[in-house]
Structure 1
Amino acid sequence: MSPESFVEILRDAMFMIILIVTAIILPGLLIGLVVAVFQAATSINEQTMSFLPRLIVTLLAMSWLGSWMVKKLMDYTFELVNSIPTIVG
């Protein structure tokens, strides 16, 4: 295995991780921002008010995007397994 092929596999794996994590984290961050603005405008400092909406949105994002995430991981795994003969040989 050459260093170039190792770097390419590592780059593709890191991109896949960033893509999947972004799909899970981004909705929670947006809801957290909305709740923070609401809390700042109303001077309410309740911790559960900021935690619970983010938790619910994160769980909903995982349930809605779960099939897409599994499909992306399966496609990457199949591509990686199919490239074994060209990388080794």
Structure 2
Amino acid sequence: MTENMIITVMKDAVSTGLMICAPALLVSVVVGLIISIFQATTQIQEQTLTFLPKLLAIVLVGFMTGSWMLHMMTGFMNRVFDMISNITS
């Protein structure tokens, strides 16, 4: 296994990880921003108020994009296993 192959696998792993995490992170940031604006306007400074809406939004995003995330992960693993089979043969 050469250094270029390792670098390629690591780049692919990082980009796949970022693609998988992006929907949940973006929704969490948007929901947090909306709730913080609501808290600032109503002067409700309860720290636990942000937890449940963020959790529900992330679970909803998980249900909506779960099959896509699984497809991305299996595609990455298939590419890695193909590289492994090419090395050994």
Structures share fold, TM-score greater than 0.5 = yes
Query: Which residue of 2 is the match for residue 48 of structure 1?
Result: 48
Alpha-carbon distance in 1 for matches of 2:50, 2:73 = 31
How far did 1:63 drift?
1.3
After the TM superposition, which of the residue ranges 9-18 and 20-29 deviates more from structure 2?
Answer: 20-29
Query: Which residue of 2 is the match for residue 63 of structure 1?
Result: 63
Alpha-carbon distance in 2 for matches of 1:53, 1:85 = 45
Q: Is the 8 A contact 1:28 1:58 kept in 2?
A: yes
- Which ranges of 4 or more aligned residues in structure 1 deviate by more than 4 Å? none
Pairs within 5 Å for 1:1-89:
1-88=1-88
The one-letter amino acid paired with 2:38 is F
Q: Is the 8 A contact 1:24 1:62 kept in 2?
A: yes
Percent of aligned pairs sharing the same letter: 29
Tell me the number of residue pairs that the alignment of Structure 1 and Structure 2 aligns: 89
How far did 1:88 drift?
4.7
RMSD: 1.4
TM value normalised by structure 2? 0.90
Q: Is the 8 A contact 1:27 1:58 kept in 2?
A: yes
Alpha-carbon distance in 2 for matches of 1:68, 1:35 = 28
Post-superposition Cα deviations, 1:29-77, rounded to whole Å, max 9, x if no partner, equal: 1000000011111111122321111111011111111111001111111
Alpha-carbon distance in 1 for matches of 2:20, 2:85 = 27
